[in-house]
Amino acid sequence: MLSVWLRVIRVRFLLASVIAVSVGLSLNWWQNSSFDAFDAVLTFAGVMALHASVDLLNDFWDFKRGIDTKTKRTKLSGGTGVLPEGLLKPSSVYRAGVAFLIIGAVIGGYFVFTDGFTIAIILGFAILSIYFYSTKIVDSGLGEFFVAVKGSMIVIGTIFIQSGQITVESILAGIVVGSLSSLVLFIVSFPDHDADKSKGRKTLVIMVGKENAVKLFWIFPLISYCAIMIGVIFQFFPIITLISFLSVPLMIKSGLGLQRNYNSIDDLVPYMSSTLMFSRITGVLFVISFLVPLIN
């Protein structure tokens, strides 16, 4: 039963939030040489709970709307398959999603009490957007935008909790992380195009069409890399942050693979995987870059 719950929570995708918090903590450490372990652990717990909530609620609503029964499931797209296979009751998944949302809200509430109005704004955005993500947000074509903003806010919020400041550095780092997360959502929406469209969803791929959407792939990593370059040029980030560019070959492989295989679900799977790997590796290198100067 535990394995089923881990499957419906989509554990592999939770790493995106782990990296986002880690970016915030490492950047703050590089900037301020400060680290509050208690707040860091609570931040990880709260962000992970909120991330689990959106995944659970998304699985519930996709099943209720009949999307998951029309998609061809892969290891990265088409839902988890838990509800169509009858492994859990829809009501149980929904209640678990709400429970994780409440847990995240309670932890966030603690930070509102200790750190003030700025966290209240971030938390309010998170709660509303998570609950309405799988209905209102994705039906309006704002899914990728939501994920980008979510990733950015995790970084900004983490640094604010640690330092009490919102800086240019935290905003640039948030843009890096948000764009990488949005890229993953973007490419995994290709296989679900027909099912999503038939049920009223408006992903970015649906809005512009598959052929045109392929060209948009390059925008996401370009935004991340540009934010890094700006940070280095204006000395907001250490020059070693450029190690993040070591992931460029993986990005090129993924983009070219998408161009050749966007209409074939089976052939696209390896390039969805390489895009996910690109996002994670770039994020990890970004985290490391703020720690290496201090180690030396």
Say if CB 289 and CB 237 are below 8 A apart. Answer: yes
Q: Match 């400041």 to its residue by tokens.
A: 165
The whole model's pTM is what?
A: 0.94
> What share of the chain has pLDDT > 70, as a percent?
99
Please tell me the predicted confidence (pLDDT) of residue 296: 45
pLDDT digits (tens, 9 = 90+) for 52-64: 999 999 999 988 8
Nearest Cα to Cα of residue 158 among 26, 294, 30, 13: 26
Measured CA to CA in angstroms, residue 134 lies from 65, 169, 198, 202, 267 at distances of: 10, 31, 15, 11, 27
Grade residue 32 by pLDDT with cuts at 50, 70 and 90.
Answer: very high
Q: Per-residue pLDDT averaged across 252-277, rounded?
A: 95
What is the distance between the alpha carbons of residues 286 and 14, in angstroms, rounded to a whole number? Answer: 18
What pLDDT, on the 0 to 100 scale, is given for residue 71? 78
Query: Which candidate, 9, 160, 183, places its Cα nearest to that of 82?
Result: 9
What phi-psi label fits residue 264: left (phi over 0), alpha (psi between -120 and 50 degrees) or beta? beta
Contact criterion met (CB below 8 Å) for 146 and 133: yes
Domain ranges of the chain: 13-287
pLDDT in tens, 170-206: 999 999 999 999 999 999 999 988 888 887 788 899 9
Per-residue confidence (pLDDT) for residue 273, from 0 to 100: 95
Residues 6+ apart with CB under 8 A from 34: 28, 162, 163
pLDDT digits (tens, 9 = 90+) for 227-252: 999 999 999 999 999 999 999 999 99
Mean pLDDT, range 20-36, rounded to an integer: 96
Report, as an integer, the average pLDDT of 111-123.
Answer: 94
Average pLDDT over residues 81-98: 92
Given pLDDT bands bounded at 50, 70 and 90, which one contains residue 1? Answer: confident
What pLDDT digit, counting tens, does each position of 200-229 carry?
788 899 999 999 999 999 999 999 999 999
DSSP H helices in the chain: 2-9, 11-32, 37-64, 90-115, 117-132, 138-139, 143-163, 168-188, 193-198, 204-208, 210-216, 219-233, 248-261, 265-295
Distance CA 160, CA 167 (A): 9
Q: Are 253 and 150 in contact (CB under 8 A)?
A: no
pLDDT of residue 197: 85
Q: Does 27 score more than 60 pLDDT? A: yes
